[in-house]
């Protein structure tokens, strides 16, 4: 991850043997197939965080996830006016194969730029040197019809265990 005065840059790379995806659309349930995910919780005073998912086919899911009480847990809100300076910029590349559902590959990479304009109304945005955010990064792989997941910071049973996200310190 890198950051600038305009937004956050995230690069995710994984080895893989097969693109276990279908032709889902943007904002579909991408987590049920091969996907990279990252979560940003900029201000621990408020139990609301940002979630971004991207598939090897460059499909995306963009959410703000509120956690106010048991009824709101893990339900997210899609951005309104998701365009222009509020839209995520993204690129996906595949190694050792073609970009299509079920393709045999050796890996894939996703590059994502999240503009701070999209992260509003979250607090503590944009970061300045010394700012701390909670965050996590995940990789889900569904080769052989069984999910395998990797996480940067260990959580409980759910990826949405935001209180166990790791720490990002901006320099």
**Domain spans, the chain:** 2-155
Q: What percent of the chain has pLDDT over 90?
A: 74
Identify the DSSP state of 113: E
Q: Higher-confidence residue: 149 or 128?
A: 128
Digit-coded pLDDT (tens) for 18-48: 999 999 999 999 999 999 999 999 999 999 9
Q: What is the pLDDT of residue 146?
A: 82
Question: Which CATH architecture does the domain made up of 2-155 adopt?
Answer: Sandwich (2.60)
Its pTM stands at: 0.92
Cβ–Cβ < 8 Å for 41, 165: yes
Instruction: Characterize 49-77 residue by residue with b for buried, 16 or more Cβ atoms within 10 angstroms of its Cβ, and e for exposed.
Output: bbbbbbbbbebbbbbbbbbeeeeeeeebe
């Amino acid at each position: 991850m890198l950051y600038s005065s305009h937004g956050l840059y995230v690069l995710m790379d994984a080895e893989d043997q097969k693109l276990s995806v279908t032709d889902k659309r943007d904002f579909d349930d991408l987590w049920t197939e091969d996907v990279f995910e990252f979560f940003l919780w900029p201000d621990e005073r408020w139990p609301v965080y940002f979630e971004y998912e991207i598939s090897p086919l460059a499909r995306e899911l963009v959410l703000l996830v509120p956690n106010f009480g048991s009824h709101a847990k893990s339900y997210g809100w899609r951005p309104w006016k998701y365009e222009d300076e509020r839209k995520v910029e993204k690129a996906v590349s595949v190694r050792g194969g073609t970009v299509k559902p079920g393709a045999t590959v050796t890996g894939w990479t996703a590059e994502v730029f999240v503009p701070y304009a999209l992260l509003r109304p979250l607090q503590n945005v944009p970061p300045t040197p010394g700012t701390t955010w909670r965050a996590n990064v995940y990789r889900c792989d569904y080769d052989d019809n069984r999910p395998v997941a990797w996480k940067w910071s260990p959580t409980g049973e759910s990826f949405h265990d935001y209180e166990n996200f790791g720490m990002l310190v901006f320099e």
